Amino acid sequence: MVFKYSTNIKKLREELSKDRIHEKLMEVKKSKGHIVVYSGFETQTTITDPLTNNTYPQRRIYIHSSQLESDKKATLHRNIATCEEKLKKIQENALSNKYAKEEMFRSAIEKAISSSKLVGLVDVCVSKTTETIKKAKTRGRPGKNTQYVENIITKYQLNFVWNEKEIEQRESECGYFVLVTNKKSKNLSMQEALQTYKKQCKVETVFTRLKGPLQVIPIRLELPGRIESIMYMLTSCVQIMTLIDRTAEKTLSSKNKKLYGLFPKNRGVEKPKAEFMLDALRMLSLEFVQFGEETKLKVGRLNDMQNELLELMGADKQLYSKEYCADRLMEAEKLNPDNFNVLLNNQILLD
């Protein structure tokens, strides 16, 4: 079993501070026109069962991805820019006396830093000054007998400096994630562990389809046999959708092209999903139309995109032809000829 482990920055920093000369190159691949490099190292640890106090060996594989490093660094600097804007806005509000108490001022600062996930990366200094302002007790033009009240106004000042050393340290930690397994290195190498982890997303895709378009829940059945039957049909549907995905992707890849017209703004896709392709075909219909005493069959006409979808899915376009529909109705005629004889007298029309 291989799963991703959520380690904190402190633990990751401890491991990265150790001797890393044994970090190995694991994989180099090309993705979206650029090179992605995977490297990593591993450590041996143990876990203890709190109920039995038994200990079990565990491998922690620290993997570094160049693409993940680039994305994380971009996110870090984007958060820094956003946080800086928030702090400047807080200072503007402070000059306008929008914070009645110091606690409110400090709370706004902490919220701006924590929401940007930059705790420890910025040093903040808060200072305050007081100013006494006289204000007349009554309205109108002040005169000799006008009485005044002294109001003390507190103004807060915010100064912040970015901790460049800590930012550099955080940048050096970008791109790492940890995989944990109980298999020994001779049975599962680091590269094999990485490939196994990458395949787990396919399982999540199955769950997403079962919970989404196939609506596996709620199951309003009680007998185990019926539940097994419906689950068999649903998992078969997932396999068919997966086959459609692979066939469409393979066809587009062989032709070095994208599919257009499936999404708004004519956005092209290289890996179209089965649920979207099937949705584009759902408006096709087979209808019986009554013209007085005459009944005719109406078959939907395929547009250009639907023809292309059938080709990508590996489906035969003849399935949507009037000849194919006539053949299927001929088979049905054997079961109930009286209802179908009138429909099969060369009266099949195209929409």
Cα distances from 2 to residues 48, 49, 194, in angstroms, run 18, 19, 9
Q: What would the two tokens of residue 217 be?
A: 């829940």
CA distance 287 to 295: 10
Q: What does the domain layout of the chain look like in residue ranges?
A: 1-117+162-211, 283-350
For 58, 96, 205, the CA distances from 89, given in Å and listed in that order, are 48, 11, 43
Q: Residue 323: phi, psi to the nearest 5? A: -65, -40
Helix (H, G, I), strand (E, B) or coil at 125: strand
Phi, psi (5° rounding) for residue 249? Answer: -65, -40
**What six digits make up the tokens of 318?**
């003849």
Residue 261 to residue 251: CA distance in whole angstroms? 17
pLDDT in tens, the chain (351 residues): 666 666 667 777 777 777 555 778 888 887 767 888 888 888 888 888 888 888 888 888 888 899 999 999 999 999 999 999 999 999 888 877 777 788 888 889 999 999 988 988 999 888 888 777 777 777 777 777 777 777 777 778 888 899 999 999 889 888 888 888 888 888 888 888 888 888 887 778 888 888 888 888 888 888 989 999 999 999 999 999 999 988 988 888 888 888 888 888 888 888 888 888 888 888 777 777 777 777 676 777 788 888 888 888 888 777 777 777 777 776 765 655 555 555 555 454 444
Q: Are strands 176-181 and 55-65 parallel, antiparallel or unpaired?
A: antiparallel
Euclidean distance between CA atoms 286 and 210, whole angstroms: 28
Q: Indicate the SS3 state at residue 300.
A: coil
pLDDT score at 350: 46
Give the residue ranges of DSSP H helices in 144-287.
164-172, 190-211, 224-255, 274-281
Q: Are 321 and 307 in contact (CB under 8 A)?
A: no
> Among residues 267, 269, 351, which one has the least CA distance to residue 312?
269
Retrieve residue 143's tokens. Answer: 């005169």
- The sign of the torsion formed by the CA atoms of 2, 28, 175, 184 equals positive
* Distances 104 to 111, 131, 156, 220, 346 between C-alpha atoms, Å: 10, 19, 11, 53, 82
CA distance 100 to 153: 9
pLDDT of residue 5: 61
Rounded distance between C-alpha atoms, residue 168 and residue 19, angstroms:
19
pLDDT of res. 154: 77
Q: Which helix (H) or strand (E) holds 157?
A: strand 148-162
- Beta carbons of 73 and 58 less than 8 angstroms apart: no
Q: What is the pLDDT of residue 200?
A: 80
Cβ-contact 317, 302 below 8 angstroms: yes
CA–CA distance, 198 with 208 (Å, rounded to integer): 17
CB within 8 Å of 37: residues ≥ 6 apart: 25, 27, 28, 65, 66
pLDDT of residue 351: 44
